[in-house]
Amino acid sequence: MIDENHKNFKWLVLLTVIIGTFLGRLDSTIVNLALPKIIIDFKITVLSAGWIATAYILANAVFVPIWGKLGDTVGRKKVYILGFTIFIFGSALAGFAWNLSSMIVFRIIQAIAGSADYPTAMAILAVTFQQGKERAQALGLWSASFAAAVVFGPLIGGPMIDAFGWRSIFLLNIPVGIAGLIMAFIFVRESVSEHKTIHFDWWGAITLGVALSSLVLVLDQGNAWGWFAYQSIICYISTILFTIIFLFVESKAQEPIVDLKFFKNSVFVNTLLNNFVVFMAMMGAVFLIPVFCQTYLGYNATQTGYLFIPMAIFMMIASPIGGSLTGKVEPRYVIFASTLVAAVGIYLFSYLDPRSSALTVIIPLSIMAFGMGFGMAQRTSVIAAIVPTEEMGIASSILALGRNIAGAFGIAVFGTILTNTTNSNVLNTAYRSVIKITNPAIYKQAVELIILKAQIDAYKPVFIWASILLLVGSALSLLIKVSKEKMREGHKGEEAFVEV
């Protein structure tokens, strides 16, 4: 019999949820590496293959708040294990997919299951670690697993795909997932809210799902469609219309899937706003780094992954350090400093050019990662301190949803800035250039050099704008007013436990 009062028991709970979080994020990272092989095997176009990722993003965004609500009411352990089990099942199916349609269906199953992880895992940790400082350290280490998965994805996935084929990356989830599932059965303690759900908010779930689907779809496909194409306009109208309907439904619902009272709490709103701005800038800028490294610096996918290893290390170092400041320094000052450091890191990317060395990439990534990691535990700890534990699942699902949408916004906005700046640079460079050679081959080469210069120069304003956005995020963090004492004590609310 395992002694739940043993001092190390709660850290085994942390290790359990880290495995689940790491596996889910690792899967989404590796799949992008496998797309070229999948395209060849299924004999599909690059555009068609894009729906494999889009379907995953849509399903994940829609189901995060649903799982959060269910976890609070029927039991976090039950929902966590259910999500984990379905994820393993979906991974096995994806490993045996036979065409594009089957792959999309199986990825949707994986996404629905994977979206259960974040809200239930955070709630499990908040219940397990009651003391404020200890909770912050646990949340910091858990948050670092996100970065680790992003980095180790290319390192694990690249060699596996080359040696065993793309199906191996899905089948890998089965043994690792089963190990994590067994640990969840043994170590995770069941917890439920005292407030039982009698009437599940289906209309709220449906209207929110349609609104989120429309928003994420246009953010993902808008660049390809054109932001003012009829498909994009339909998505805009659908997003606005169903958001209005959703807000009306939630205001009348007996047990809303998203309790709007959260948005009356200034600390919650300001933390969510800071989180949105920070993740929008970070995701919008960082997704361009591998593109630049592989296009202009000559690295392959695996070599690019090596560049990101220090990023994971610095984030994993910084997260517990930031958490250790809980109760000693007001969280807004920690978040302010961390966001400022991250802004410096991203700004340094504006000096990238085709002559850049590996250190020119590694140093900014490390600075940015240290800044992000330093404040990540504080952001999640603020939410854990001000929200009653019986509502932790839905509160953390809102936080996760904000991050997902922020990332989609960042990629869409900065991708558009890159495209528009490139086009503008081509025109400006061509206008200032004089080509006196009439030889067609040399003339063609000159035009290609103009385009190449325009593309490289377009990256600089993207990183500058991203750093400015982070500066805005650092200023917003000063609005997060939670006392050191509140953070040190953690939440004192009652929580119902069920022994299983």
Res 143: pLDDT: 73
Confidence check: pLDDT of 157 > 50: yes
Confidence check: pLDDT of 430 > 70: no
Confidence check: pLDDT of 493 > 50: no
Mean residue pLDDT of the chain comes to: 80
Q: Are 318 and 369 in contact (CB under 8 A)?
A: yes
- Give the tens place of pLDDT for each residue, 80-133: 899 889 999 999 999 999 998 899 899 989 988 888 887 788 778 877 877 766
Q: Are 87 and 112 in contact (CB under 8 A)?
A: no
Res 494: pLDDT: 41
Burial of 401 from C-beta contacts in 10 A (0-12 / 13-18 / 19+): buried
- Give the tens place of pLDDT for each residue, 299-356: 876 777 788 788 878 887 887 787 777 777 888 888 899 999 999 999 999 998 888 8
Q: What is the dihedral of CA 186, 145, 302, 421, to 10 degrees?
A: 140
Res 310: pLDDT: 85
Confidence check: pLDDT of 5 > 60: no
Burial of 78 from C-beta contacts in 10 A (0-12 / 13-18 / 19+): middle
Please tell me the least confidently modeled range out of 47-56, 239-248, 267-276, 311-320.
47-56
Res 88: pLDDT: 92
Res 237: pLDDT: 94
Crossing angle for the helix pair 392-432 and 440-477, to the nearest 10 degrees: 140
Confidence check: pLDDT of 497 > 50: no
Give the residue, 416 or 326, on which the prediction is more confident.
Answer: 416
Confidence check: pLDDT of 424 > 60: yes
Confidence check: pLDDT of 363 > 90: yes
What Cα–Cα distance (Å) separates residue 324 from each residue in 94, 125, 319, 337, 356?
Answer: 41, 16, 9, 15, 36
Query: What is the secondary structure of 36-79 as a DSSP string?
Result: HHHHHHHT--HHHHHHHHHHHHHHHHHHHHHHHHHHHHH-HHHH
Q: Are 138 and 14 in contact (CB under 8 A)?
A: yes
Local confidence band at 78 (pLDDT 50, 70, 90 cut-offs)? confident
pTM of the model as a whole: 0.74
Of all residues in the chain, what percent carry a pLDDT higher than 90?
A: 13
Confidence check: pLDDT of 373 > 70: yes
